[in-house]
Structure 1
């Protein structure tokens, strides 16, 4: 199998609850396809450390939006003061939330992020990457709702590299496989993404 080891871990978080049955089936089929190619996909049930980390990552859903709101409160406050009617209701909500987040809470969230970064990097001793869906399903029709963002939050929050690979299809629409890597491992992750795109 070329020169790559290809040993990813399946990142089964609560974000999987956002998937409909067809999208989940497409993901499971893709894992089966990878295993048929000799890729050693490891499940959380096979690794206690991995299973514990999945539970810790789920807390990201609760705190990431509060960190974003805190970070944006100053620049967006000036925008809202200058032209409130030109800003959508979601921006108004986030700025309001940002003022509810204290500096102490913000520091705790950042500390949690650093802890998660360290724990995720520990996985690089055993795995090449993590795999999970890149979205809750294929793109829905219209623009009012683009799907749940939970499955995107984890790696966005910790700030590590990730790819969305167009390797799945649901109802004739593309559905991305997310390949998530480790801190400082951009090049290595790109090599694995290249291999998967060519073989899977």
Structure 2
């Protein structure tokens, strides 16, 4: 069920005229018709054919010459169903009435549309971007979870049903499903992509991110979605100096993930990368607890009016989180929020002390768990999200059972352009190995 839909290739062919927007739209809708009955990446929509046909016609009429076509001309985008989109309901994986959740279109959706893209459809999300899963299955192995909460977006890109999909991350909802589904998952620095028009979970740590099949495509998308994109600031050196965190953080991963990570480090060493150990997150349990408490408290604040009116429509796990968050005091929440900058400073200082450019780590405790009753554990993504530093998951290998295993690459706050530049080098190392 895995098919090619590299954003870099599609964007080039659409802008050059080698492929028409209508032909590409038809190709992807055919894939959805053939596959999504089993994968369930998209929220069902009766008007998808008519709506997307109208979008393609408008794009063709607007950009009459190839020279005028913007970077995402004719690119269909999957949008996680907590983003508001003009003319489409937002359900957020919930039974709360859509009219209650309605709001103005997400700024990130508008940015994509201004660059020539259009919304192919809403993708399935766990309820309110937390842990209660939807029906989406992993395209590599249908009996396994695709991860969450951006389940549909990751699965849709992995299956080649769309070349670009938007998601969000409050703990690990981009980097983890990207690892489980074998795609590139980008969680930019905090607030590099606007969260306006997105139903919040915990505003202090909510990130808008996205999925593609390749790093070049991620760079193209980043240049459109991120504020103040600075490609001219990327470094000239090809290989970054790579840091490997040591201590209790990495020990949270299981034996399969650790063995894969060791192989990945050995491959980087063999390719000439400078590898340095970086002691980090000695107090990982405290970081984990503070982040989880912050998420609970802020989600309780966000949902207070909806939960008061429609609490019986919330899934038990989501309701439990909100109830937990109601008990968090203002002093505790202030400490939790302040710890974000403390963890960011620790990351920066440890990187400075060891002279590394990129930190690499397992993006999940192991491969995608069997069953779709859970979305897996985001524990390997949590500290990077808490600190708000950029994190990119790259697909690297597969288990004997055909489940993807990735690597998570992180950098200093604001160094999103540099991180993606270096990820191209790391991606190339492992691409060459599999060819």
TM beyond 0.5: yes
Q: Distance in 2 between matches of 1:18 and 1:167?
A: 20
Q: Distance in 1 between matches of 2:388 and 2:247?
A: 17
Q: Is the 8 Å Cα contact of residues 257 and 364 (structure 2) preserved in structure 1? A: no
1:35 aligns with 2:266: no
1:3 aligns with 2:237: yes
Q: Distance in 1 between matches of 2:378 and 2:361?
A: 13
1:192 maps to 422
1:146 aligns with 2:370: no
The equivalent position to 1:80 in structure 2, one of 301, 307, 312, is: 307
Q: Is the 8 Å Cα contact of residues 13 and 58 (structure 1) preserved in structure 2? A: no
1:47 maps to none
Query: Kindly tell me: are residues 156 and 176 of structure 1, through their superposed partners in 2, closer, same or farther at Cα, counting changes over 3 Å?
Result: same
SS of the residue corresponding to residue 83 of structure 1 reads helix
- Larger RCO of the pair (alpha carbons < 8 Å, separation 6+): 1
Q: Deviations over 1:70-95 (max 9, x none)?
A: 11112212222222222111111111
User: Which piece of structure 1 moves more, 111-120 or 33-42?
Assistant: 111-120
Q: Distance in 1 between matches of 2:340 and 2:318?
A: 24
The equivalent position to 1:26 in structure 2, one of 260, 265, 275, is: 260
1:48 maps to none
Bigger radius of gyration: 2
Q: Distance in 1 between matches of 2:346 and 2:306?
A: 38
Q: Distance in 2 between matches of 1:58 and 1:130?
A: 20
Query: Kindly tell me: are residues 121 and 190 of structure 1, through their superposed partners in 2, closer, same or farther at Cα, counting changes over 3 Å?
Result: same
Query: Kindly tell me: are residues 21 and 119 of structure 1, through their superposed partners in 2, closer, same or farther at Cα, counting changes over 3 Å?
Result: closer
Q: Distance in 2 between matches of 1:15 and 1:123?
A: 14
2:337 maps to 110
Q: Is the 8 Å Cα contact of residues 19 and 136 (structure 1) preserved in structure 2? A: yes
Structure holding more helix per residue? 1
Query: Kindly tell me: are residues 145 and 12 of structure 1, through their superposed partners in 2, closer, same or farther at Cα, counting changes over 3 Å?
Result: farther
Q: Distance in 1 between matches of 2:314 and 2:323?
A: 13
The equivalent position to 2:386 in structure 1, one of 157, 167, 172, is: 157
Aligned length: 192
1:179 maps to 409
Q: Is the 8 Å Cα contact of residues 389 and 412 (structure 2) preserved in structure 1? A: yes
2:396 maps to 167
Query: Kindly tell me: are residues 15 and 86 of structure 1, through their superposed partners in 2, closer, same or farther at Cα, counting changes over 3 Å?
Result: farther
2:360 maps to 131
Q: Distance in 2 between matches of 1:7 and 1:158?
A: 21
Q: Distance in 1 between matches of 2:237 and 2:403?
A: 32
CA-CA distance at 1:111 after TM superposition: 1.8
CA-CA distance at 1:144 after TM superposition: 1.3
CA-CA distance at 1:56 after TM superposition: 3.4
User: Which piece of structure 1 moves more, 129-138 or 55-64?
Assistant: 55-64
Q: Distance in 2 between matches of 1:120 and 1:20?
A: 23
TM-score by length of 1: 0.88
Q: Distance in 2 between matches of 1:19 and 1:124?
A: 22
TM-score by length of 2: 0.42
CA-CA distance at 1:58 after TM superposition: 4.1
Point out where structure 2 has 5 or more consecutive residues left out of the alignment. Answer: 1-235, 431-435
Query: Kindly tell me: are residues 16 and 145 of structure 1, through their superposed partners in 2, closer, same or farther at Cα, counting changes over 3 Å?
Result: farther
SS of the residue corresponding to residue 43 of structure 1 reads strand
